[in-house]
């Protein structure tokens, strides 16, 4: 099978979405398919929309494939271009921009609706993402597949006894992993932790993406009076990040929206319960009270209640950590996910040939 993949930027990007795309490409190639990767220049939203007037973009998309995957994050450049393509298009949807609650959500929803109306099928990373796609004018559920990412980036060797022992050590050690930008909700975490009476420490790992938002977070840290307990580490190599997760008790990312939240699963591999967003796909991973907690966006009080309770009850923290590790072990690996996507693509390609 000849497959294409169109995306913004380089396939070597470090975010969870890029890792997902990269694993799909590797899995398809290992199965004997050819994959032609088309890397478009990363655009600001308005500039991406102007690409639809460009004949050079349409020329770049004129490749000889049976089916084309498109990372939905590149949708601004592809709204109109998809109308003229000679092959079926399958959108890979990590999350819809309109789901993030941004101030231009209405505009994003209208553009994404038009984009999704022009694709033949969709690969979604969670059931919540699939519901967003079908509810925004995308392909019907019968033309979608849910193929979650694997969280085996680290796959640490850690047992129940280690998780039990760690849970009773020192102050509650909380880890946040994600870019420092509004969607990830670090400000909510800082404000929530500030009201936890029990001892705690917070380690923040992630690249500063939005200077204005970074200032908002720093102001919140100053108001909390707990700057000496918050360690802003920036982006770390995988080995250093693994060391942070190995010593932590809980992973907390109270995001405003997560299409899936692969960081939650990666934390679970270390036996960390996840304090996750109730908005989006984390409910596919997190069972409240068992492997973590789901908190509504922008609710510091919810963060306070959850983390305060775990800081007080270390036996419960240990049980939840062990359950989180078990949830990680039961999750599908990349071979199963890529095989599911490949079978779906073959069906879409066969349907395209029959229609042609």
β-strand partners of 141: none
Whether residue 181 has pLDDT greater than 80: yes
pLDDT for residue 354: 59
Domain 2-150+333-355 architecture: 3-Layer(aba) Sandwich (3.40)
Q: Which of 78-92, 165-179, 212-226 has the lowest mean pLDDT?
A: 78-92
- Using pLDDT thresholds of 50, 70 and 90, give the confidence band for residue 356: low
What DSSP string runs through 290-343? TTEEEE-TT-HHHHHHHHHHHHH-HHHHHHHHHHHHHHHHHS--HHHHHHHHHH
Coil, strand or helix: which one is 161?
Answer: helix
- The order of strands in the sheet holding 200-205 is 230-234, 200-205, 172-177, 250-252, 274-277, 292-295
Give the relative orientation of helices 186-193 and 300-312 as an angle to the nearest 10 degrees: 50
pLDDT for residue 97: 86
Would you state the torsion angle of the CA atoms of residues 342, 343, 346, 352, taken in this order, to the nearest 10 degrees? -110
**Which residues have C-beta within 8 Å of that of residue 348, sequence separation ≥ 6?**
67, 88, 90, 120, 121, 143
Give the residue, 330 or 13, on which the prediction is more confident: 330
pLDDT for residue 101: 67
Whether residue 135 contacts residue 212, with contact meaning beta carbons closer than 8 Å, is answered with: no
Give me the CATH topology for the region 160-330: Rossmann fold (3.40.50)
Assess whether the region 2-150+333-355 and the region 160-330 belong to the same CATH fold: yes
Tens-digit pLDDT profile for residues 14-73:
777 888 999 999 999 999 999 999 999 988 888 989 888 888 888 889 899 999 999 999
- Using pLDDT thresholds of 50, 70 and 90, give the confidence band for residue 81: confident
Tens-digit pLDDT profile for residues 195-241:
999 999 999 999 998 899 999 999 999 999 999 999 999 999 999 99
Q: Is 229 exposed, middle or buried (0-12, 13-18, 19+ CB in 10 A)?
A: middle
Tokens of residue 233, six digits: 């580490």
- Using pLDDT thresholds of 50, 70 and 90, give the confidence band for residue 355: low
Q: pTM to 2 decimals? A: 0.89
What are the boundaries of each domain within the chain?
2-150+333-355, 160-330
- The order of strands in the sheet holding 67-71 is 34-40, 2-8, 67-71, 89-93, 121-124, 144-146
What 8-state DSSP symbol labels residue 90?
A: E
What 8-state DSSP symbol labels residue 271?
A: T
Total Cβ atoms within 10 A of residue 343: 11
Q: Which of 281, 300, 163 is nearest to 223 (CA)?
A: 300
Mean of pLDDT values over 242-253 = 98
Residues of 305-333 as b/e, b for ≥16 C-beta within 10 angstroms? bbbbebbeebeebbbbbbbbbebbeebee
């Amino acid at each position: 099978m000849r497959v294409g993949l169109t995306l913004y930027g380089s396939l070597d990007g470090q975010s969870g979405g890029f890792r997902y795309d990269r694993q799909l490409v590797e899995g398809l190639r290992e199965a004997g398919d050819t994959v032609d990767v088309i890397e478009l220049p990363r655009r600001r939203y308005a500039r991406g929309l102007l690409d639809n007037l460009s004949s050079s973009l349409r020329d770049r998309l004129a490749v000889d494939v049976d089916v084309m995957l498109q990372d939905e994050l590149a949708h601004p450049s592809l709204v109109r271009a998809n109308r003229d393509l000679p092959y079926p298009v399958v959108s890979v949807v990590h999350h819809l921009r309109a789901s993030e609650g941004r101030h231009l959500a209405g505009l994003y929803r209208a553009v994404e609706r038009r984009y999704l109306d022009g694709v033949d099928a969709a690969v979604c990373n969670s059931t919540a993402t699939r519901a967003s796609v079908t509810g925004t004018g995308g392909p019907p559920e019968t033309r979608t597949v849910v193929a979650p990412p694997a969280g085996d980036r680290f796959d640490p060797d850690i047992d129940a006894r280690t998780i039990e022992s760690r849970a009773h050590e020192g102050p509650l050690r909380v880890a946040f992993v994600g870019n420092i930008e509004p969607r990830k909700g670090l400000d909510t975490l800082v404000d929530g932790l500030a009201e936890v009476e029990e001892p705690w420490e917070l380690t923040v790992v992630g690249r500063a993406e939005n200077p204005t938002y970074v200032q908002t977070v720093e102001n919140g840290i100053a108001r909390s009076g707990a700057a000496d307990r918050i360690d802003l580490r920036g982006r770390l190599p995988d080995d250093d990040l693994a060391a942070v997760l190995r010593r932590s008790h809980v992973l907390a990312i109270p995001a405003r929206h997560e299409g899936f939240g692969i960081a939650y699963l990666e934390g679970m591999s270390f036996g960390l319960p996840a304090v996750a967003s109730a908005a989006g796909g984390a409910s596919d991973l997190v069972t409240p009270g068992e492997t973590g907690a789901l908190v509504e966006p922008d609710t510091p009080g919810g963060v306070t209640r959850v983390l305060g309770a775990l800081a007080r009850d270390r036996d419960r923290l240990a049980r939840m950590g062990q359950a989180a590790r078990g949830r990680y072990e039961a999750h599908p690996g990349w071979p199963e996910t890529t095989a599911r996507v490949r079978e779906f693509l073959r069906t879409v390609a066969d349907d395209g040939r029959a229609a042609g």
